[in-house]
A and B are shown apart, each in its own frame.
Chain A
Amino acid sequence: MDNTIIQQGKFTSDGNAKYISLRSDVDWMMVYNYSNAAATGNDSVRFTWQRGMATGVGIREFKSGGADAMNLGVLAAPDGFYYVDTSTASATRSPNLITDITNAAPAVISSVAHGLVTGDIFRLVSCTGAKQICGIDFSCTYVGANSFSPTYMPAIVAAAAPGADAYVYKVSADHKYYPSNRYITNITQADPGVVTLSVTHNFTVGQKVRFIVPAKTAAAFGMTQLDGKEATVTAVSTANNTISVNIDTSVYTAFAFPLTADMPFTPAQVVPVGENTATAITYGVDMLGDATRNRAYIGMKLPGGDDAPGGANTDVMYWVAGKSFSNLVE
């Protein structure tokens, strides 16, 4: 029947939240924890969600007392299902102010119950000190419940108190299209030059990029010799979120991030421009690595855990999801 589409899949849990991309939207979803079904513990086996339920909830079926008989219960937030639509990306404010930004490398930002986890993208706004890193997206490293760091940001000069109205926002999704431009946080003086980017870049060897390195002051951004230059990515480091490029930057002026007093300015950027096919062939990588891809999707976030639909580490999970006629009128 038209308008009824059923999809299914499988994954092995790593204990973290699992994001499932679902074609053609979703009206209901069931997840089975095959490992728990085979075990004799008290853990959850089946999870169900249906359109109309609140965000973060669901229904769970679980074993009890070592018996195979199933019990039924409500799956409460934050262990339930989270509908995801990255085409409507938004920024959600942390419930608390930023109270401190250090000048460590990377900076440690204090905010009570910030709610961020490692890998999230965040943005600071309304700082009166450390303005130079406001309005820029950063990948997050979770330091503690009340502190986090911009993972790939070198120390900023003389970080001042962020001010009385400074907030952190979690950015719900990265740019919809790949490859996308990225903010530069550092460039080494070396051959080859190594460029650090503020958010996980996903560039691949062989891609061509162009640099935008504005001259804001005599000191910042320093390495303006690189401005407008086109380069080929010759190596990437996922650990450091860097790209190495076929330009010798050792003779260039040192890269310097602007200061709070330098606002307003245009940030230094890397802009994707295409593919160096010769390099791609040499390195044996995909010649179409620069292909434009729409990464937006509709799907479901399944939180990890024994009693959550994302499962515990090594759990084998099966899922079924469907799109059908819905009648939510009461």
Chain B
Amino acid sequence: MVSSHEVKVTESRQTEDQLTRDMLAATAGFVNCTAGTNGDTPTNIALADVNTVVRGLLTNNAYTIMDNIEGEDKFGTAPVRDAYVALCSSDLVGDLEAINGFVQKNQYPSPMNAHRSEWGAVGNLRFFTSSIGSKVETSSVKGATVYNIFCTGMEAYACIEQDGYSANFIYRPPIYDGPLALNCSVGYKFAEVPRILNDLWVINLRTTLNT
């Protein structure tokens, strides 16, 4: 059984992710996917769009975050390049798999080097998905949901702790509530600010679904 306290702890870390996500959505420069075939703006994601982002990050001297995974003599696997990290919504998994050259994480020579939220890699981008990935409803030219894919190099952004901590999880037992000690309280508060450190090292690749 999961206690309400455990739920709150998960919620606090998820809130931290959401705050960082919203900062990136508001602040980072963006590139629209234009190489897809769905006729919208932005289009669905295609290999040329991935190449545009990778070229941009390389040109801006962004360091890759993920190490390469060396090829091994195993059937159905392929080496994985050192890579920038791409953070996106789990709604995009189908479109990611349709990109020319997409490598599923189970095709990595050593899948244990993949993270649980990782979906796969294309070129020098490794994609991580989340149910709380960034998206803006009714935002494409055709009125479809636009998905933000934050493609980031090393130290492109940070969460700055302003008072010596990122978040405080606070539990007060009922004795602090009143003379009858009827109610306990649990909650969290943040003292951190997400901030882009170098705008050249993070690019928001905007896309729509290919449906």
- Chain A interface (Cβ < 8 Å from any Cβ of B): 1-3, 90-91, 93, 123, 125-127, 131, 134-135, 167, 169, 175-181, 210, 212, 263-267, 269, 271-273, 292, 294, 296
Are B139 and A135 interface neighbours, CB within 8 A?
Answer: yes
Within 8 A of A (CB), among B146-183: 146, 172, 176-178, 183
Chain A residues closer than 8 Å to B65, beta-carbon distance: none
Question: Separation in Å of the A265 CB from the closest CB of chain B?
Answer: 7
Bound-state Cα–Cα, A162 to B134, Å? 29
Q: How far apart are the CA atoms of A196 and B23 in the complex, in Å?
A: 23
- Shortest Cβ distance from residue A293 to the other chain B in the assembled complex, whole angstroms: 8
Taking a contact as CB atoms under 8 Å apart, the answer to whether B41 and A265 are in contact is yes
For the complex, what is the distance from the CA of A7 to the CA of B75, rounded to whole Å?
Answer: 66
Contact: B32 with A181, CB < 8 Å?
no
Which residues of B are found within 8 Å of A127, using beta-carbon distances?
141
Give chain B residues whose Cβ lies under 8 Å from the Cβ of A177: 22-23, 26-27
The residue in B140, B143, B178 that gathers the most chain A C-beta atoms within 10 A of its C-beta is B143
Question: Please, which residues of chain B bring their CB within 8 A of the CB of A271?
Answer: 27-29, 199
Known: A2-B185, A264-B41, A273-B199. A125 touches B141 (CB 8 A): yes
Report the interface size for chain B: residues with CB under 8 A from the other chain: 37
Q: Is the CB of B176 within 8 A of A2?
A: yes
15 pairs, CB–CB < 8 Å, chain A vs chain B = A1-B177, A2-B177, A125-B138, A131-B41, A135-B139, A176-B26, A180-B27, A264-B40, A264-B41, A264-B43, A267-B32, A269-B30, A271-B29, A294-B19, A296-B22
Shortest CB-to-CB span from B78 to chain A, Å, is 31
Residue ranges of B at the interface with A (Cβ–Cβ < 8 Å)? 19, 22-23, 25-34, 40-43, 137-143, 146, 172, 176-178, 183, 185, 193-196, 199-200
Whole-angstrom distance between the alpha carbons of A181 and B199 in the complex? Answer: 11
Q: Which residue of A lies closest to B40 (CB)?
A: A264
Given known contacts A91-B138, A93-B138, A294-B19, A264 and B42 CB-to-CB distance under 8 angstroms: yes
- Measured between beta carbons, the chain A residues less than 8 angstroms from B193 are 292, 294
Chain A residue contacts of B25, Cβ below 8 A: 175-176
Q: Are B141 and A263 interface neighbours, CB within 8 A? A: yes
Known: A123-B139, A175-B26, A177-B23. 18 other contacts (CB 8 A): A2-B172, A2-B177, A3-B185, A91-B137, A134-B41, A135-B140, A176-B22, A176-B26, A177-B26, A178-B26, A181-B28, A263-B41, A263-B141, A264-B141, A269-B29, A272-B27, A292-B194, A296-B22
Contact check, B143 vs A1: say whether CB atoms are below 8 A apart: no
Contact call B31/A266, Cβ cutoff below 8 A = yes
A135 with B141: CB separation less than 8 A: yes
- From B23, B34, B199, contact of A264 by CB (8 A): B34
CB distance from B18 to the nearest CB of A (A): 8
B43: chain A residues at CB < 8 Å are: 264
Of the residues A2, A167, A175, contact of B143 by C-beta under 8 Å: A167
Closest to A216 in B: B34
Contacts of A263 in B (CB 8 A): 41, 141
* B141 with A131: CB separation less than 8 A: yes
Contacts of B31 in A (CB 8 A): 266
Q: A91 vs B138: C-alpha distance in the bound complex, in angstroms?
A: 7
